[in-house]
Amino acid sequence: MSGLEAALDVVGARWALLIVERLLDGPQRYGDLQRDLGVGTAILAVRLRELEEAGVLVRLPLKHNTRAYALTPRGEALRETIVALERWGAARAPDHVISPRSPDSARQNG
């Protein structure tokens, strides 16, 4: 298995890199991830479990039976890859497709 195949086994599923990208800013609660990403709860639960099993993130217990998720060093190592993918996408996507989360990125790289 190549390095790329191994990486895609971990983060190649839909939503996986978007989850990691949200966690680059720090730990996030489950409900916040669901709301920010607009992903269904069943899919989010599966992706979080997969990323946790792969050592990309950890679950943090909070008060009142809630939980948050944070990146491990292995997950944090994806930062450069995600930044590169954001730049690549922003440089090639039509203006109406760019996420409102990163308007400056599109202008700097377009």
Which of the 8 DSSP states describes residue 97? G
Its pTM stands at: 0.80
Amino acid present at 79: R
pLDDT of amino acid 101: 54
Residue-wise over 70-102: b if at least 16 C-beta within 10 A, else e? ebeeebeebeeeeeeebbebbeeeeeeebeeeb
73 token code pair: 């060093």
All structural domains of the chain, each given as residue ranges with its CATH number in brackets, are: 1-72 (1.10.10.10), 78-110 (no CATH)
Per-residue pLDDT of the chain (110 residues; tens, 9 = 90+): 899 999 998 999 999 999 999 999 999 999 999 999 999 999 999 999 999 999 999 999 888 888 899 999 999 999 999 999 999 988 887 765 655 554 444 334 44
